[in-house]
């Protein structure tokens, strides 16, 4: 990863939600590793609450994350990642309550998946957290302003508390270019204007797109977040 500086301020609890295919889990893993490098808090944890989705779960990268200094919490079944029972380990509350721990939460991929957070709603009240929605303008369900607004409304309704910001993660897998990211930035600006939610992050796949190209395109430096493409096996792109 590059540029190990933390882009999300002092909020200790960061929730990441998004439609299937938006890249929210890639963002969660990349942000967790970035936080462990930048150390805005002494400890970093990732809670995987995407317990119903059998694909691209952040806990599948437990070894990578723990080697980077990130604690991984979520399913009650630590090693059996194929056991898709809605069971959360009791230890998942620990990092949420630890004042010295930056805690990222990878939430389910749609409105129904977002319901899981209701058992932790006490930790997401007031001005103590960020609840971010990842938007990929190249996904069918969020490729129009109307579709994106419906998606955000569904997430908020299921979570039981409001979102606080947007994340642009417009991509085309290994065909992503600076122009792809810029397209998503402009799209999310429209979503921001319609909702009042700030556009907080612009993601880009660091192995494919140069940060300098995005700066030259006019994207703000403080919003740029490199993604490591940790969740994609090479066979998926063949």
The pLDDT tens digits for 170-185 are: 999 889 999 999 999 9
Beta bridge mates, 48: 106
Domain 13-232 has CATH 3.30.930.10: no
How confident is residue 142, by pLDDT bands cut at 50, 70 and 90? Answer: very high
Which tens digits make up the pLDDT trace of 59-77?
677 889 999 999 999 754 4
Asked if 221 and 215 touch (Cβ cutoff 8 Å), the reply is: yes
Alpha carbons 3 and 226: distance in angstroms, whole number: 8
Which tens digits make up the pLDDT trace of 8-28?
999 999 999 988 888 898 999
Alpha carbons 15 and 130: distance in angstroms, whole number: 6
Spans of all domains in the chain: 13-232
Alpha carbons 170 and 86: distance in angstroms, whole number: 30
Residues in Cβ contact with 111 at an 8 Å cutoff, skipping those fewer than 6 apart: 151, 154, 155, 157, 158
Alpha carbons 166 and 135: distance in angstroms, whole number: 7
The backbone region for 22, taken as left when phi is positive above 0, alpha when psi lies in -120 to 50, beta otherwise, is alpha
């Amino acid at each position: 990863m590059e540029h190990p500086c933390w882009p999300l301020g002092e909020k200790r609890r960061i929730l990441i939600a998004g439609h299937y295919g938006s890249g929210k889990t890639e963002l969660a893993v990349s942000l967790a590793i970035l936080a462990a490098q930048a150390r805005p808090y002494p400890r970093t944890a990732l809670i995987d609450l995407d317990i119903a989705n059998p694909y691209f779960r952040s806990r599948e990268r437990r070894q990578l994350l723990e080697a980077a200094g990130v604690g991984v919490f979520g399913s009650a079944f630590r090693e059996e990642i194929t056991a898709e029972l809605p069971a959360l380990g009791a230890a998942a509350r620990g990092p949420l309550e630890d004042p010295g721990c930056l805690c990222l939460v990878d939430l389910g991929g749609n409105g129904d998946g977002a319901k899981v957070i209701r058992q932790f709603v006490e930790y997401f009240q007031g001005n103590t957290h960020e609840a971010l929605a990842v938007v990929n303008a190249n996904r069918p369900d969020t490729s129009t302003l109307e579709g994106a607004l419906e998606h955000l409304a569904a997430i908020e309704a299921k979570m039981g508390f409001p979102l606080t910001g947007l994340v642009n993660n417009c991509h085309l897998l290994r065909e992503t270019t600076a122009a792809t990211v810029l397209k998503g930035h402009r799209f999310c600006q429209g979503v921001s204007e319609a909702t009042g939610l700030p556009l907080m992050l612009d993601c880009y796949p660091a192995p494919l797109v140069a940060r300098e190209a995005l700066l030259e395109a006019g994207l703000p430096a403080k919003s740029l977040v490199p993604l490591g493409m940790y969740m994609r096996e090479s066979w998926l792109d063949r």
